[in-house]
Amino acid sequence: MFVSVLDRKGAPIKEQLLTQNSPEITFPVGQANEASVSSQLPSFFGFIKLGVEHIGTGYDHLLFLFALLLVTKSFRSSVAVITFFTLAHSVTLAGATFNLVNLPARITEPLIAATIVYVGLENIWRKGDPHGRWALTFCFGLVHGFGFASVLREMGVGGHAGGVAMPLLGFNIGVELGQLAVAAILLPLIWKLRVNPLFVSRIVPACSASVVALGGFWLVQRLWG
């Protein structure tokens, strides 16, 4: 649920998305008597902001994206990875928001961790720029879309009467802006480092092994934690 704390004049004191991991909102004690609480959904730009914040703090999604981009050798292959990941998670994000298809978090979260493990392993055993990575990215992106959809479900989007298109579009735009910002930072660095044979032969496998280890930790934690 998205909660907005307002003063008597209607100006926001603090706005926050309440989730199971963050069920409380705090604000200055001196403003307590001036405050009123509203659970209205944020504006279109508020949903864009939420999308950017979600991808910025969604470490599993970021690690998955890093593992995909780590072995790309050209602008074309990078665009293919980002495009098919975007298309895939947009499909399931929309489907879940409109209640057409859904998966509970107890299934989605371990699956997301498993996709990270698989991509890290594939980076190791398929050296270079794996052919057909776009297809793998699309399939796994469908899984990640359910993770993105959980944010909108927790806010009640799609669960009651009211507009769905605006929150869905705004949140998705925010997610894409966050992904593009990450890619814009990572890709020039990766491409620059790839000219060094040591990076390809040693650093890429080492980074991929770290991806596998962290993804495996999350997988075990989400299955039995």
Per-residue model confidence (pLDDT) at position 2: 56
How confident is the model over 128-182, as pLDDT tens digits?
A: 667 778 899 999 999 999 988 887 777 767 554 446 778 888 888 999 999 999 9
Phi, psi of 176 (to 5 degrees): -65, -40
Task: Indicate the domain borders of the chain.
Answer: 2-38, 44-224
Q: How confident is the model at residue 76 (pLDDT cuts 50, 70, 90)?
A: confident
- Answer positive or negative: Cα dihedral of 95, 99, 105, 110: negative
* 141, two tokens: 């992106």
Element (H, E) at 175: helix 165-193
